[in-house]
A = this chain, B = another copy of it.
């Protein structure tokens, strides 16, 4: 097992892998509805139209992982982005990796707290949902439609995340 440290989530650090979903990441801020609402506009790309795809709204209910968490495999979605926004106050782990010749490269693990979400860009290697502490629901915006939208790859030697910090 190779040790994988946990990083705090920062908007810039996550840019190679997709978008952080939080008000500070909005591309524009508008006051609407007669001043009663602030719109933090267009935070994360929804890139799901490849091969005739359409956006889906779903809820993922994740069982909590216990530390140490082993990262043995990664997946990616060649046809669409996938956004996760927690519907609880609990943290989760976003584990991502750059591509290395069609395989996942060295992973990075981000601890996502404070009700922030993440969107994995289309075709970006990531680990399946890692909820922490308790069963937790996440709103998911991803792609529906025909075509193979899942690729999986195992690491030759797994990584291990010892704890949340």
* Interface residue ranges, A against B (CB under 8 Å): 21-23, 26, 32-44, 46, 48-49, 54-63, 65, 83, 85, 87, 115, 117, 119, 128-129, 137, 139-141, 144
Contact = CB atoms under 8 A, between A and B. Distances in A.
Contact of A37 (B21, B54, B62): B62
A81 B61 CA distance: 25
A18 to B, nearest CB: 11
How many copies make up the complex? Answer: 2
A117 B23 CA distance: 19
A48 B58 contact: no
Nearest to A127: B33
B63 A40 contact: no
For the complex of A and B, 4 pairs with smallest distance between CB atoms: A33-B128, A46-B55, A40-B59, A38-B61
Given A48-B55, A54-B46, A139-B139, A60 B37 contact: yes
Contact of A115 (B41, B61, B65, B87): B87
A56 B37 contact: no
Given A26-B59, A37-B129, 12 more contacts: A21-B59, A34-B128, A36-B129, A37-B61, A38-B60, A39-B59, A39-B140, A41-B58, A46-B56, A46-B57, A57-B83, A57-B141
A115 B12 CA distance: 30
Given A33-B128, A60-B37, A87-B85, A23 B137 contact: yes
B129 A59 contact: no
